[in-house]
Amino acid sequence: MTRLFGTDGIRGVANEEPLTPDLAFRIGRQLVATLQVDHGVARVRLVIGRDTRLSGPLLESALVAGALSAGADCYAVGVLPTPGIALLTRRLAAHGGIVLSASHNPFEDNGIKLFSSEGTKFPDAWEDEIEQRLDAQDVAPRARREHIGRLIDYTQGGEAYVDFLCETFPLDLSKLSMLLDCAHGATYRVAPRVFRRLGARVATIGARPNGTNINAGVGALHPDGLQRKVKAAGMDVGFAFDGDGDRLISVDHTGEIRDGDFALAIAGRYLAARGRLKGNLVVTTVMANLGLDQALGDAGIRVVKTQVGDRYVFEEMQRVGANLGGEQSGHLLFLDHAPAGDGILSALALLAIATEMGAPLAELAECMRKFPQVLLNVPVRAKPPVESIPGLAEHIAGLEEQMEGCGRVLVRYSGTEPLARVMIEGADGARIRAMAEELAALIRRELGLMAG
């Protein structure tokens, strides 16, 4: 059977193969079996939540039914950001957490993410166990009588998450005005509550989900609307989250977009100056802008890079003992405060730095100068090894020679979509765009022929 779990759980179009209610039901059963049989848990407790997609209740009800049938107790928290579900998994001493979400993808997609009892991504080996069980005869426990699982409607979960955020960063934001873009997603209720409780004057966009408008031209992937409105309204700052609330893209009072690279530069230099940056290093991915390397390097901070994906950043942070890491896309990890990426918490961390230093985000961001960067997404129907694409390696080598060490080229596949991503950085924006178009055309031509 084709592997279901990717870099961020299972993704697909909801109610189409493989992401059907039948699969969700079976995952519920086999997750419980994995915890009970392979890991010795007598009575499994699970926390389950979702974002605002139309298909969320469909998949959630099937997954819960499967887990209950195998004897697990399920705490249903409803619509809540992914990091909130990770937090509650730990708070409730549950054995696992489940999120129904496709993060930044369009509404017709959905996904199943699994968390460990520590609120971290489910270990690969455990996902492999579930996959093996799905591909074999169903021998998961069949609970009967009083052993059937209980469904607990845990409506207080949202308030517990808000309390945690406000207690982690008990800031006085009474002098700040801000605009929040909630992507019509899972943050639409809790994010405004957090910042208003801390005293900020809060306005929102993207906070009216209808099941089909999640991420539609709003949120962390589309910060241009937030950018215009922050500047036009004279707001102090703007924050954009993605559909499940684990990413953050910021906009300063001048209307400049500040992505995850800026956040890592600001937080890394701040923590290092106070002796609080563990290992004096920051973990990021190969997509990070060269300007981040420069900003951190100038402060004597080492940069460690992984392949793209927050789980790989987390794993490397665990390996090297780091407490700060993240991605340009806005998925940031402040492991001193939470085990998973959290858009709202990341915004609070930036505001805490700004408050202590008495400087607005625009001034803090001056520590980093971005190199021009072009990223093109090329739809593909096949994903052969990048190095096997005829002519690609030679073409890349030629472009890198032209840049004379003042730029870089990266070609990789998306882990969740049928896309090849071409990224080029360099000093001349127009020139690197032309280079990226050349590579995109080569990939489009070669992969089209291969797939056909």
Q: Which whole number is the average pLDDT over 230-234?
A: 96
pLDDT of the residue at 2: 67
Confidence of residue 253 (pLDDT cuts 50, 70, 90): very high
Place 451 in a pLDDT band, splitting at 50, 70 and 90: very low
Q: Do residues 55 and 20 lie in contact, with contact meaning Cβ atoms separated by under 8 Å?
A: no
> What does the DSSP assignment read for 38-55?
IT--SS-EEEEEE-S-TT
**Average pLDDT over every residue of 72-88:** 97
Cα–Cα distance, 55 to 101 (Å, whole number): 9
Binned at pLDDT 50, 70 and 90, residue 6 comes out as: confident
| % of the chain beyond a pLDDT of 70 | 98
Nearest-angstrom CA–CA distance, 13 and 449: 26
pLDDT greater than 80 at residue 7: no
Rounded distance, CA 147 to CA 144, Å? 5
Give the model confidence (pLDDT) of 199-218 as tens digits: 999 999 999 999 999 999 99
Q: How far apart are CA 97 and CA 67, in angstroms?
A: 12
> Active-site positions?
103
Determine if residue 103 is left, alpha or beta; phi over 0 gives left, psi from -120 to 50 gives alpha, anything else beta: left
Span 373-451 CATH architecture = 2-Layer Sandwich (3.30)
Give the amino acid at 136: A
Q: What is the mean pLDDT of residues 223-235?
A: 96
Lowest mean pLDDT among 44-48, 122-126, 204-208, 290-294: 122-126
| Amino acid identity for residue 126 in this structure | W
The pLDDT of 314-331, averaged and rounded, is 96
Q: Share the mean pLDDT of the chain.
A: 94
Tell me the CA distances in angstroms from 90 to 27, 81, 231, 235, 338, one per residue in order. 21, 15, 40, 36, 10
pLDDT at 452 over 60: no
Asked if residue 450 has pLDDT above 60, the reply is: no
What pLDDT does residue 448 have? 60
Residue boundaries of the structural domains of the chain: 10-155, 159-254, 258-340+357-367, 373-451
Lowest-confidence pick of 192-201, 359-368, 420-429: 420-429
What is the CATH number assigned to the segment(s) 258-340+357-367?
Answer: 3.40.120.10
Q: How confident is the model at residue 446 (pLDDT cuts 50, 70, 90)?
A: confident
399 secondary structure, DSSP code: H
Using pLDDT thresholds of 50, 70 and 90, give the confidence band for residue 318.
very high
CATH superfamily of 159-254: Alpha-D-Glucose-1,6-Bisphosphate, subunit A, domain 3 (3.40.120.10)
pTM: 0.90
Residue 267 has pLDDT above 90, yes or no: yes
Residue 65 pLDDT exceeds 50: yes
HEC string for 302-313:
EEEEECCCHHHH
The pLDDT score that the predictor gives to residue 449 is 41
> What's the average model confidence in pLDDT over 217-230?
97
Q: How far apart are CA 228 and CA 205, in angstroms?
A: 12
Place of tokens 């990789």: 412
Q: Averaged over 220-240, what is the pLDDT?
A: 97
Fold matches, 10-155 and 159-254: yes
In CATH, the number for domain 10-155 is: 3.40.120.10
pLDDT for position 447: 86
Cα–Cα dist 60/57, whole Å: 5
Q: Evaluate whether 217 touches 76 at the Cβ level (below 8 Å).
A: no
Rounded distance between C-alpha atoms, residue 60 and residue 112, angstroms: 9
